[in-house]
A and B are shown apart, each in its own frame.
Chain A
Amino acid sequence: MDFDPIPFHLSSALANWGKLAGILLAIGVLLGLVGAFAGNGNGASGFINGFVSYFRELLTISPRRVLALAGLTWKECIRRKALLVFVVFAVLLMFGGWFLTNSNSREDLQVSVHITFMLTTISWLILPVAMFLSCWGLPEDIRIRSIHTVVTKPARRAEIVIGRMLGFSSMIIAILLLMGFVGYVWIERQVPAELKGAVQGEDGAESVNLLACRVPQYGFMYFLDRDGLPKTTGINVGDPWLYRSFVEGNSRARAVWLFPNVEPERLNGALRIESRFEAFRTIKGTEASIREGVEAQYTLVNDPREDAFSSFGIGASFREIAEALRAGNFRNAATLMTAAAERMAASPSDFPPVDLQNVSVACARQTVAELSAIDGLGDVAKAFDAVGQAAGKVSDPGDTAGYQAVSEACASLGKVLEDHSDDLMELMPRLEVPLDPFHVTEYHEGADTHTYERTLRYAGSYEAVARFLAKTISKLNDEGKLVEGDALSSSLVDDLEQSAGIAAINAELVERVLKEELDAGKLTAADGKLAVADGSRWLPYFDQLVRAERLISQDAEGWMLEADLFDDLAPRGLLRVEVSCLDDQMYLGMARPDMFIRLKDNSFWVGYSKALLNIGLMLALVVVLGVTASCVVKGPVSLVFTLSVFLVGQFFHDFMQRILGGAEKGAGLVESAVLIFQHRNPNAGVDTSESGRQVMQAVDTGFFGVLRLANNIIPDFSTFSEAAAYIENGFDVPWASSVLPSIATFVGFLIPCIMIGTACLKFRELEAK
């Protein structure tokens, strides 16, 4: 499955629609004027009268008369045997099995085939009915003059148009609902119970429910390359389908997802992650790997340093400083910043203006905002802001005064970093919780779903262990449980075990190391409290002890720590998940929708009914187009018009957009024709003079204008059919990226169509010629 759900922006769509509707209205008015002056000679008064009566009709529509006309339309539909479509439907349902059964003996693959079959059958069966009825209705009434029995009654033309649209649409929707219901029962019966999660296995666990509608919460994604540097894509392994990008196994390469709105209430207190990665092997691998698949691992990360400083080093001259900041080596960063300030004053050419501009953007968009959000780092934020402000003003390599100002700001920042290094270290912790590795199951929807409880146990890194011990010792110290007289408390080991949950063997290790430090005079015990002799804080003290490997876990499990999913890892609701491949010389392929947080599933009928709603909107739009066309031309012409619009909108809209967006390779119409004639490819270009090329391109610009117009006035029917892809693949149909655009598309075309239809019916002669 390759869809990438992108939310629909209603406001920008409305603005576009307003522009287009305005243009169409203007054209309509212009045509009216031309008609008034060129027609019966009434001129301005004729135009004004027509204009006023037209809008009065539109604004005084009677729902009662519209409903009566819709009722008449229903009767007409029944008289024309539209309901015979059910016979075809029944035949297809009876014999559909011939085409579907045994096509895939694996039942999980069958589910999507059944759903696809049903939705395709429903939409493609009703579609011709909708087209024929809507396109032939009015012209036939006009031909046999039965329209005269309507228009001679107090029914307005707008009411006739709306009544027709409503009648045909409601008839089509009724057929759709009935077929949808039968289809639902058919799908339910076709899918075996064990694939609907109703059967319990030997282990008591429920089987996977392939008929559930998963509700995904997607995130934002980027990659880290093998050196740990951010990249927008991973490695290309040569797959012609460029949907997925790959991360290298057994390296620092990662795919990083950022999930917003990670809150306990939304997630029911636990995190359920689902993924569908693709494996790529450069070697056969071990037998275990062949049997079980490539191994992957999630790591949950809360890293305010990454959030604050990842963009700071985009310019090469600040990269080293950014690396030190990201690694939490703030003293080093301070030294490097001071050195950079001095170098900038002495040799500004080492710092190209583009690097300063990048620093300015990073400070403005990322660093200052992130630091300001942390209590106690206001001064640091201000210092970064000053650097950003000064750097943003330098755009010329010869701007000595500007460089001088940046240099001074950097020197000041270096000083602030030096002064606040302990605060920064304490307030910007990097927390990394590696979760249990798992073997990737390719192409089995929903198989790689893992649920993690709120409290996570993990083997701590150096930094995490140092923070944990600093916090624990500080707490015991505050409670007066650390020292007895001038020695360590005799119950320290028990206290460490009980209050902090440290394994006995590690508690003994901590006690032993603290005792050695006390004996060596690096710690002092006075007034019932323990303190670092040189006055430094506990965190840097333990950081140095851990990095000196004096506190290596004696427990085989390592330093097992606990982290809270929401409070520790996503304190502001933003969860960062890094995915790595653990096997050497193997690769994992991923795209943004390949991993998501799975919220509570909806039942199948929810997604199914949304897909039906989309089909209904599509059919109603076909009716609207058909009725509009039939207001002005005869049945066959109207049918050809509606069919053409539908085919272009369904199958070529995306193609048009790709041409207009430049994604499709090739030149314009005339240029392409000449290229074909000359047997040359687009890269070589047309073999002609410069003026010849300019002429061709000028003509092509006209064609592109026509294409742009067609792209804007032909509805994108694939918007409606995309909903089916969601439930075929076991997902709920998302409101924002599927249902809303469908509704907006329908309404967006309905209003102008009513206006055009009414105008055409009002100003034409109701006689068949």
Chain B
Amino acid sequence: MNKLTSRQRKLLYAGGILLLLIPIVWLGAPTAEDVVPGTQQTVSGGKLAQMRVAYDLGESKLGAIDPSSSAMNLVLLGLRGPAASVLHLKALDYQEKKDWAKLKTTVDGIIRLQPHYTEIWKFQGWNLAFNVSREWDRVDDRFYWVKEGIKFLQLGTSRNQTATALFHNVGDFTGRKFGNSDEKKFFRDFFISDPDPKFSGTADPQINPQGKDNYLVAYDWFKITNEKDRAYRIKGMTHVFARQGPSRALYDFARARQSEGVFGDENRIAWENAYNEWTDVYGNDVFLGLDDIRYKLNCSEEELASMATENQVTLDVQRRIWEQNVKMVNYRFWQNLANCERSPTTVDAHKKIYDGKVAYSRAETADGLDDQGQTKPSKSEQLLFEGMQLMEKMCFGADPEFPEVADHDSYIEEALLAVYYWKKVHQLNLRQPPEDYPLKALEQKEAGRQFDIEMEFQREHRRGFESP
């Protein structure tokens, strides 16, 4: 029998409680201050709190906490894994049976159960934007599901501030999916003027709050990605490639505008920005190469020597690492391309050739007569000829401004196509082209491409041209 009195027992219990509180407080005390994710390496507080910060394990450190997610995990006790697996299977079944509403709800359920499992965000974001969207036939429906995929990833970024790859994916989808799809003409328009009546002809604020071009929004996301990358290095991607995002988005933007018939200063400035981003920002970023040797792509001889000293390696080793990476990312090619494109000569050359093709497609090809009654070449012929002259001046002539891009396929094709159009105009007017004309040397040198050029001519002719 217990010989202790009631009071003694109570005191004993209180003592036990106090004794147990000591390790609990030591282990479990929360941090003494609000910790902004990624800003501190150590904090005051219990052992567990310190370890959470040290090993990036705290949920608050990962991103915004979803109360419903926490509630669901609490309710499920230890069965979160099986529940998530069942939901994954159901999601697959709904997708196969094209029950899109239930698929989306199930996916939402999965991410509530596993909000910090980055691969799920990546997989389902891709699934919605690429796989589900293509199941729909009408372009506005497809656009809706691409947006759903991107919004899903955006939510993923808010819940997982340390998952840099998710930020990269948002930028990638915003740029690539909207800009490279078969439906890019519609997608790029819809990105600025959403077809959903509730947005009254403006952009969907959730993915494009400022109503910008999709590539410029992608640029913003890639910039954030690079910022994040400094704190939480991106996983699963070669670092030097991952950091290209912003500049490549600007390249894509400038090129897309060109293909839509936008030239002049607007396009030249776009290329200028792309060039600056590539050389001044990306080129001056410091990366870690083989054996953790630091290097940057835009490097002068002096900088190379100084970095060799800094890395405590020989100049040869430093140079080898640097050259390997410059070659790997094709750094000089993109630099030369943007350098050429930002020049007024290049912009003029593109514009003349484009306008010449537009004139051709509008049948402005018949010779006319000038005031003196002399034969006057058609508008199309005139523009194409001027474009050919500028191309020669740009990179294919005797003393070109940018000889380093003369072997660039897209320039060669553009030049040869201009000549092809120009000859077609002559043919329509039942005239032989003159003996000598700009780009003739290039035409002879690249005679093997003639068939491809003819095919491209047919394609363009069928497709028509955008009116800027």
Residues in A whose Cβ lies below 8 Å from that of B144:
106
The docked-state distance in angstroms from the alpha carbon of A281 to that of B97 is 18
A520: interface (CB < 8 Å): no
From known contacts A99-B68, A99-B112, A241-B97, infer whether A290 and B183 are also in contact, taking CB-CB under 8 Å.
yes
Q: Which residue of A lies closest to B182 (CB)?
A: A284
How near does chain B come to A752, taking the closest CB pair, in angstroms? 34
B408: interface (CB < 8 Å): no
Q: Are A443 and B68 in contact (CB under 8 A)?
A: no
Partner of B141, one of A104, A240, A442: A442
Residues in A whose Cβ lies below 8 Å from that of B101:
104, 109-110, 112-113
From known contacts A442-B136, A443-B136, infer whether A241 and B186 are also in contact, taking CB-CB under 8 Å.
no
B239: interface (CB < 8 Å): no
Q: Are B137 and A241 in contact (CB under 8 A)?
A: no
B105: interface (CB < 8 Å): yes
Write the B83-118 contact mask toward A (1 if CB under 8 angstroms, else 0).
000000000000011111110110011001000000
The docked-state distance in angstroms from the alpha carbon of A113 to that of B98 is 15
15 additional contacts (CB under 8 A) given A106-B144, A291-B139, A442-B138: A99-B72, A100-B105, A103-B104, A103-B105, A104-B104, A112-B101, A112-B102, A241-B96, A241-B98, A279-B137, A291-B186, A294-B137, A440-B137, A442-B141, A443-B141
Q: Which residue of A lies closest to B195 (CB)?
A: A291
The docked-state distance in angstroms from the alpha carbon of A49 to that of B67 is 66
From known contacts A241-B97, A443-B98, infer whether A290 and B139 are also in contact, taking CB-CB under 8 Å.
yes
Partner of B137, one of A2, A103, A240, A281: A281
How near does chain A come to B387, taking the closest CB pair, in angstroms? 27
- Could you write out 25 A-B pairs with CB less than 8 Å apart? A1-B99, A98-B67, A99-B108, A103-B105, A103-B108, A104-B101, A104-B104, A105-B148, A105-B151, A113-B101, A113-B105, A241-B96, A241-B98, A278-B137, A279-B137, A284-B182, A290-B138, A290-B139, A292-B138, A293-B137, A294-B137, A442-B136, A442-B137, A442-B141, A443-B141
B376: interface (CB < 8 Å): no
Q: Which 9 A-B pairs have the closest CB atoms?
A: A98-B68, A109-B101, A279-B137, A103-B108, A293-B138, A442-B137, A103-B105, A293-B137, A284-B182
The docked-state distance in angstroms from the alpha carbon of A279 to that of B68 is 38
A116: interface (CB < 8 Å): yes
From known contacts A281-B137, A293-B137, infer whether A104 and B68 are also in contact, taking CB-CB under 8 Å.
no
Residues in A65-115 with C-beta less than 8 Å from chain B:
95, 98-100, 103-106, 109-110, 112-113
Q: Are B97 and A104 in contact (CB under 8 A)?
A: no
Q: Are A2 and B97 in contact (CB under 8 A)?
A: yes
Residues in B whose Cβ lies below 8 Å from that of A287:
185
Residues in A whose Cβ lies below 8 Å from that of B72:
99
A335: interface (CB < 8 Å): no
The docked-state distance in angstroms from the alpha carbon of A95 to that of B135 is 33
Main secondary structure of the interface of B (DSSP, over half): helix
A243: interface (CB < 8 Å): yes
The docked-state distance in angstroms from the alpha carbon of A751 to that of B13 is 60
A441: interface (CB < 8 Å): yes
Residues in B whose Cβ lies below 8 Å from that of A1:
99
Residues in A whose Cβ lies below 8 Å from that of B67:
98
The docked-state distance in angstroms from the alpha carbon of A743 to that of B287 is 72
How near does chain A come to B156, taking the closest CB pair, in angstroms? 14
The docked-state distance in angstroms from the alpha carbon of A441 to that of B97 is 17
Residues in B whose Cβ lies below 8 Å from that of A243:
97
Q: Are A104 and B185 in contact (CB under 8 A)?
A: no
Q: Which residue of B lies closest to A588 (CB)?
A: B137
Residues in A whose Cβ lies below 8 Å from that of B109:
99
The docked-state distance in angstroms from the alpha carbon of A566 to that of B125 is 51
Residues in A whose Cβ lies below 8 Å from that of B108:
99, 103
Residues in B whose Cβ lies below 8 Å from that of A103:
104-105, 108
How near does chain B come to A441, taking the closest CB pair, in angstroms? 7
The docked-state distance in angstroms from the alpha carbon of A439 to that of B148 is 24
Residues in B whose Cβ lies below 8 Å from that of A98:
67-68, 71
Residues in B whose Cβ lies below 8 Å from that of A293:
137-138
The docked-state distance in angstroms from the alpha carbon of A287 to that of B464 is 11
Q: Are A104 and B105 in contact (CB under 8 A)?
A: yes
Residues in B whose Cβ lies below 8 Å from that of A110:
101
Residues in A whose Cβ lies below 8 Å from that of B135:
442
Residues in A whose Cβ lies below 8 Å from that of B71:
95, 98
Residues in A whose Cβ lies below 8 Å from that of B141:
442-443
How near does chain B come to A650, taking the closest CB pair, in angstroms? 15
How near does chain A come to B21, taking the closest CB pair, in angstroms? 33
Write the B37-60 contact mask toward A (1 if CB under 8 angstroms, else 0).
000000000000000000000000
Residues in B whose Cβ lies below 8 Å from that of A442:
135-138, 141
Residues in B130-154 with C-beta less than 8 Å from chain A:
135-141, 144, 148, 151
Residues in B whose Cβ lies below 8 Å from that of A440:
137
